Chain A
Amino acid sequence: EAGVAQSPRYKIIEKRQSVAFWCNPISGHATLYWYQQILGQGPKLLIQFQNNGVVDDSQLPKDRFSAERLKGVDSTLKIQPAKLEDSAVYLCASSLEGDNQPQHFGDGTRLSIL
């Protein structure tokens, strides 16, 4: 089966610019997650979708980050405006419905803010 697809793989922007990331989950996976992974740390959940509805966005900095999953499949994560501290790898994951289901991760987008 095809895995979670993410693009772009790398992005370099200047602070205060905007950036968007795209994710296509594994076919049939209703649950989609966006994580932020700062170098040397474990991933931190930003937002969780169940189909096209938001389940948890408590750790999403909503003044600058937004995410959508309009048709319950693909998702985009946007940062506007970017800050230096947003430099990280942004990982998308998907899973079947259920809290005991493992999450399957894409290879991520490495974002560098200059």
Chain B
Amino acid sequence: AQSVAQPEDQVNVAEGNPLTVKCTYSVSGNPYLFWYVQYPNRGLQFLLKYITGDNLVKGSYGFEAEFNKSQTSFHLKKPSALVSDSALYFCAVRDVANDYKLSFGAGTTVTVRA
């Protein structure tokens, strides 16, 4: 079985400070990992993905994520947060053992204060 954990329900940071949203996963095979963002009353927007290759993945809106196989983590980062980054963030994983179904974490609400 595969699972995704986002250990923090909420993350609060000041504008201009670094932002980190944590994600750990548990899969049987090699994972495909994704980050999505959801603004109020909107669908999920794709930010970035890790499939293979370089462990540091760069995505939309200045976000990046680092795949760490030994720690089974895929944390989302942004060097300097903006108030407009305030939203709900979902980590998701697919792996061959689960027929590549996309499994989502419970989400982390990010609040960036001015």
Interface flags for A82-114 (1: CB within 8 Å of B; 0: not) read 000000000101000001101111111010000
**Given A100-B49, A102-B34, A102-B49; A4-B102 close (CB under 8 Å):** no
Q: A41-B106, A45-B102, A102-B49 are in contact. List 17 more A-B contacts (CB 8 A).
A: A33-B102, A42-B90, A42-B104, A43-B44, A43-B90, A43-B104, A44-B104, A91-B43, A99-B32, A99-B94, A100-B49, A103-B44, A105-B36, A106-B43, A107-B42, A107-B43, A108-B42
Interface size in chain A (residues, C-beta < 8 A): 23
**Given known contacts A106-B43, A108-B43, is B106 in contact with A56 (CB within 8 Å)?**
no
Which interface residue of B4, B43, B46, B101 has the most chain A CB atoms within 10 A?
B43
Taken together as a complex, chains A and B put the C-alpha atoms of A33 and B36 apart, in Å, by 16
Q: Are B100 and A99 in contact (CB under 8 A)?
A: yes
Could you list which residues of chain B lie within 8 angstroms of chain A, going by C-beta atoms? 4, 32, 34, 36, 41-46, 49, 51, 90, 92, 94, 99-102, 104-107
Residues in chain A within 8 A of chain B (CB atoms): 4, 6, 33, 40-45, 48, 56, 91, 93, 99-100, 102-108, 110
